[in-house]
Structure 1
């Protein structure tokens, strides 16, 4: 759920940030290829909040999420 929120939300956020006039003048604007309706964006935020809260409260080790993939073992 968090990866989906990241993939769908970041381009939309970057588009909004590059619409700010000083930033648009300095680096230009970005047009997001993803345009979700408001209900989908709200659902995305609620789902990401629920998933991150569950992850934080569970306090269990996961090799993929907690850096075990790059721990230096050969």
Structure 2
């Protein structure tokens, strides 16, 4: 679960930067400079790890109060 949260969190932070530089988005909410800049190989490893962690949770059908109850 830790790998899933870290992987998604770091990748979302880095994805927010290029999205915030799109002119209509930048005009509306401003631009965002990500405080974290990881090498591409580490981004891919974290993304793959997050996908594998999510698949493992889905296949085991485990409940996590942190992740599953947040949507309720």
Q: Which has the higher helix share?
A: 2
- Counterpart of 1:20 in structure 2 is 22
Instruction: Considering Cα pairs closer than 8 Å and 6+ residues apart, tell me whether 1 or 2 has the greater RCO.
Output: 2
Alpha-carbon RMSD across the aligned residues, in angstroms, is 1.6
Q: Which runs of 5+ in 2 are unaligned?
A: none
Q: Which runs of 5+ in 1 are unaligned?
A: 68-74
Q: TM-score, normalised by structure 2?
A: 0.79
Aligned residues: 67
Contact kept in structure 1, 2:20 and 2:26, CA below 8 Å: yes
Structure number with larger C-alpha Rg: 1
